[in-house]
Amino acid sequence: MSELRFDNQTVVVTGAGGGLGKAYATFFASRGANVVVNDLGGSHKGEGNSSRAADVVVDEIRAAGGKAVANYDSVENGEAIIDTAIKAFGRVDILLNNAGILRDVSFKNMKDQDWELIYKVHTYGAYKCARAAWPHFRKQKYGRIINTASAAGLFGNFGQTNYSAAKLGQVGFTETLAKEGAKYNILVNVIAPIAASRMTETILPPEVLENLKPDWVVPLVAALVHSSNTSETGGIFEVGGGHIAKLRWERSKGALLKTDASLTPGAILQKWNDVNDFSQPSYPTGPADFLGLLEEGQKLPSAPK
Ligand code: NAD
């Protein structure tokens, strides 16, 4: 099998000074891409900044014969990051929204600053970078975006209300971008990775971390953003340690009650088993699915098409 290549394409990797971002950057450069290595170079809690993190990765890529430029802006300044790609390489094809920080604290002790910083880097940052790349993608009728969620966002995790909210936000962001981008051949997927990095090195034991190299997340991302992927979009993928799986929403059978005075809290409790019955699940993919259920169950006139 010939290898998937990215020659003449430009990949912007945010937070590429270490961890997963560095693994993406070096991989794409080794497969022929021009790479923008963005990193603010601060601590894992979002304090400080430095050009060193990005520079080290750029030097490494160049030493191996690859093409890369550094950018030291915060992802909050997405225009400047995409500008770096346009100035250095004349185009942008792929955006990997990867930069991230943690401000873990129990909800009782959460400070506004912990909430806001997480929001700024993960939610606003991903938005700003995608927003700046979007006109280029639309114009060239080609674009690929990977956003980065987390198991904490999908399932919740103690001490991470701020991070969970921002990370599940990446899922909704992805789903809508996928729908808006489809017409322009802009495919957008979201991953919930698990990998050894400075984010996880103090949480997981060394023997577990050993099998969780960032390198084992990269191939899925590369497959999703390659031009040979023409249909996989709006997908939510868990990836790490060699395991790759897709997630989706599942809706229970549910209870459809008459919309009259009989619709009381007690009536709902009587149907509680149906509300929780996942033996006949459905898999909704858009807001219209719910209205469809009502139309079907109550024989409502269908909404104007
Ligand atoms: P990491 O700390 O090694 O890498 C994150 C990088 O982002 C750092 O180099 C940091 O300097 C950079 N960064 C932080 N704020 C920035 C900003 N405002 N602008 C530009 N760069 C900034 O961590 P990682 O584990 O490689 O994480 C990468 C992504 O994966 C993050 O979004 C993280 O939330 C997510 N994630 C990681 C795991 C995991 O198991 N490692 C699990 C779930 C989600």
Does ligand 1 come within 6 angstroms of the Cβ of 44?
A: yes
Mutational pocket test of ligand 1: of 98, 154, 216, the residue with most ligand atoms within 8 Å of the beta carbon: 98
What is the distance in A from the centroid of ligand 1 to the CA of 19?
A: 7
pLDDT of 22-64, one tens digit each? Answer: 999 999 999 999 999 999 999 999 999 999 999 999 999 999 9
pLDDT reported for residue 276? 98
What is the distance in A from the centroid of ligand 1 to the CA of 37?
A: 13
pLDDT reported for residue 288? 85
ipTM of the prediction: 0.99
pLDDT of 54-92, one tens digit each? Answer: 999 999 999 999 999 999 999 999 999 999 999 999 999
Alpha-carbon span 100 to 163, nearest angstrom: 10
pLDDT reported for residue 186? 99
What global pTM score does this model have? 0.96
CB-facing half-sphere around the CA of 219: CA atoms within 13 A: 9
Does ligand 1 come within 6 angstroms of the Cβ of 9?
A: no
Q: Is 163 a catalytic residue?
A: yes
pLDDT reported for residue 6? 98
pLDDT reported for residue 298? 62
The residue annotated as part of the active site, out of 127, 163, 184, 283, is 163
Nearest Cα neighbor of 163 from 40, 276, 45 is: 45
Query: In which residue ranges of the chain is pLDDT below 50?
Result: none
Q: Identify the bridge partners of residue 12 per DSSP, sorted by sequence position.
A: 36, 95
Give the ligand 1 atom nearest the CA of 163: 34
Identity at 84, one-letter amino acid code: T
- Spatial contact of 217 and 195, defined as CB atoms under 8 Å apart: yes
Residue 304 DSSP label: P
Alpha-carbon span 28 to 35, nearest angstrom: 7
pLDDT reported for residue 296? 76
Does ligand 1 come within 6 angstroms of the Cβ of 160?
A: no
From residue 252, alpha-carbon distances to 27, 48, 91, 155 in Å are: 41, 47, 45, 18
For 135-193, the DSSP string reads: HHHHHHT-EEEEEE--HHHHH--TT-HHHHHHHHHHHHHHHHHHHHHGGGTEEEEEEEE
Mutational pocket test of ligand 1: of 27, 57, 101, the residue with most ligand atoms within 8 Å of the beta carbon: 101
Distant-in-sequence, close-in-space partners of 161: CB < 8 Å, separation ≥ 6: 107, 110
* Structure tokens belonging to residue 80: 């400047």
Distant-in-sequence, close-in-space partners of 203: CB < 8 Å, separation ≥ 6: none
